[in-house]
């Protein structure tokens, strides 16, 4: 995509160069007419492509965090995924247990959670004070896991985090701390 856009910019530059040469050389009115009509449009397209390439060059933003200890969360308690495996761009804040969007953009988040047999847990994925996803894990006989993936548009400064859904359920296990996770990535800036 990036290479393709760069190639287009180079081709447009070449086209603009020839049109400029034509403009200098031009003595025939009909040729001058072509230059007057096409050059502003070409320059506008060049500006558009330059800004697309700049957007594609955004810094990478991605995180993955796990839980290291089992939790019996209180009502609406925020779940702090404390073991940060990846934090490119440093937008996941471990002390908050939350992700703060560094840029306006489209982001993807995923939350996975497990509970033990005889227990269950319901967790909400939140954007600021609003609900954007929910997971329910639990079974009377088996240990059970569940996950949810959401794609959302965020403005810079918006916060995304995971919290207990009211008092629904009572136990998040952490037998192996890779079973529970909170991940996110910036897909595209807007
Ligand atoms: C982000 O989006 C908001 C609301 O649409 C807008 O006011 C703001 O200027 C944008 N910021 C940037 C850096 O584009």
Distance in Å, CA 18 to ligand 1 centroid:
38
Tokens for 91? Answer: 């937008």
Q: Which atom of ligand 1 is nearest to the CA of 103?
A: 13
Residue 38's pLDDT is 83
Q: Which residue from 128, 156, 186, 188 has its CB within 8 A of the most atoms of ligand 1, so it is best to mutate?
A: 156
Q: Measured from the CB, is residue 155 less than 6 Å from ligand 1?
A: yes
Residue by residue, pLDDT tens for the chain (190 residues) are 455 556 565 555 555 555 555 555 555 555 555 566 688 888 899 898 888 887 777 789 999 999 999 999 999 999 999 999 999 999 999 999 999 999 999 999 999 999 999 999 999 999 999 999 999 999 999 999 999 999 999 999 999 999 999 989 988 888 776 789 999 999 999 9
Question: How far away, in angstroms, is 78 Cα from ligand 1 center?
Answer: 28
Cβ-based neighbour number of residue 89 at 10 Å: 15
pTM of the model: 0.76
Question: Residue 128: its pLDDT value, please?
Answer: 98
Token pair for 10: 């180079």
CB of 190 closer than 6 A to ligand 1?
no
**How close is the Cα of 106 to the center of ligand 1, in Å?**
13
Q: From the alpha carbon of 190, which atom of ligand 1 is closest? A: 14
Q: Where are the beta strands (DSSP E) in 22-97?
A: 62-66, 83-88, 92-93
What is the model's pLDDT at position 26? Answer: 52
Q: Which two tokens stand for residue 164?
A: 């207990």
62-66 and 92-93 strand pairing: unpaired
In contact, 174 and 82? CB cutoff 8 Å? no
Task: Give Cβ neighbours of residue 131 (< 8 Å, ≥ 6 apart).
Answer: 124, 125
Quote the distance between the C-alpha of residue 161 and its chain's center: 14
SS3 of 9, please?
A: helix
Is residue 102 within 8 Å of 156, Cβ to Cβ? yes
């Amino acid at each position: 995509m990036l290479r393709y856009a760069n190639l287009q910019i180079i081709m447009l530059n070449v086209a603009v160069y020839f049109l400029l040469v034509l403009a200098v050389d031009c003595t025939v009115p009909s040729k001058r007419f072509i230059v007057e009509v096409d050059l502003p449009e070409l320059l506008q397209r060049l500006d558009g492509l330059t800004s697309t390439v700049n957007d594609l060059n955004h810094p990478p933003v991605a995180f993955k965090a796990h839980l290291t200890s089992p939790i019996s969360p209180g009502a609406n308690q925020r779940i702090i995924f404390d073991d940060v495996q990846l934090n490119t761009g440093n937008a996941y804040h471990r002390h908050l247990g939350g992700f703060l969007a560094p840029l306006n953009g489209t982001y993807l988040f995923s939350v996975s959670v497990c509970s033990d047999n005889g227990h269950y847990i319901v967790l909400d994925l939140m954007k600021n004070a609003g609900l954007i996803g929910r997971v329910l894990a639990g079974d009377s006989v088996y240990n059970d896991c569940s996950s949810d993936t959401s794609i959302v548009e965020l403005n810079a400064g918006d916060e995304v985090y995971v919290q207990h859904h009211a008092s629904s359920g009572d136990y998040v296990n952490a037998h192996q701390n890779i079973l529970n996770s909170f991940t996110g990535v910036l897909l595209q800036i807007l």
